[in-house]
Amino acid sequence: MKKVKIFMMVVMLAVSSLASAQTANDYVQSFTKMLDKYCMEFYSEDFPGRYYQERTLSITSVNSDPLTGEFSLKGTHSYKGKQLSVHTNVDWEATIEPLGNRKYRVKFDKYYEPDKIGPIVITEGHWEYGKTRDYEYPKRR
């Protein structure tokens, strides 16, 4: 009887872990799609002269605050710079706060990699900060 209880506990733990992993994976997929759309819409407005490269955003970490429901995300993406040079695997950070009814408060920041003209580097790298916006996702049709 004791072995059966232990076996059942192990099975329940495995199922619980699988469900948690599935939930985390679902969040990553949903946030990736949302931020891809968000960047297509607002990237050049927040970072003038820079152009987000569609479907290059990847998420490397997701943390949530159980008290506020806010998510903090980090990852990499690609963009074209002012000189139209492509910058790949560039760091970004975002916060997403669910507001309800398909609305979210989103803030997207990114690292600026200097543009190059031949061997000449124009500026130093630094963080650039996007505007905080209320954003509807998915959009109503």
Mean pLDDT by runs of 10 across the 141 residues of the chain is: 44 38 77 97 96 97 93 97 89 96 96 79 85 92 67
What is the predicted pLDDT for the residue at 10?
34
Q: Which helix (H) or strand (E) holds 7?
A: helix 2-46
- Does this model's pTM top 0.85? no
β-pair partners for 77: 90
- SS3 (DSSP) at 130: coil
**In whole angstroms, how far apart are CA 37 and each of 27, 41, 92?**
15, 6, 15
Is 73:93 a contact under the CB 8 Å cutoff? yes
The C-alpha R_g of the chain, in whole angstroms, comes to 20
pLDDT for res 1: 58
Residue 11 pLDDT: 33
Q: pLDDT tens-digit profile of 65-94?
A: 999 999 999 999 999 998 778 999 999 999
The two tokens of residue 57 are 């955003």
* CA dist list (Å): 41 to 9, 11, 34: 48, 45, 11
Compute the distance between CA of residue 87 and CA of residue 49 in angstroms, rounded to an integer: 13
Confidence at residue 140, expressed as pLDDT on a 0 to 100 scale:
76
What does each C-alpha distance from 30 to 23, 40, 61, 69, 126 come to in angstroms?
A: 11, 16, 14, 16, 28
What's the pLDDT at 15? 34
Which two three-digit tokens encode residue 98?
């669910």
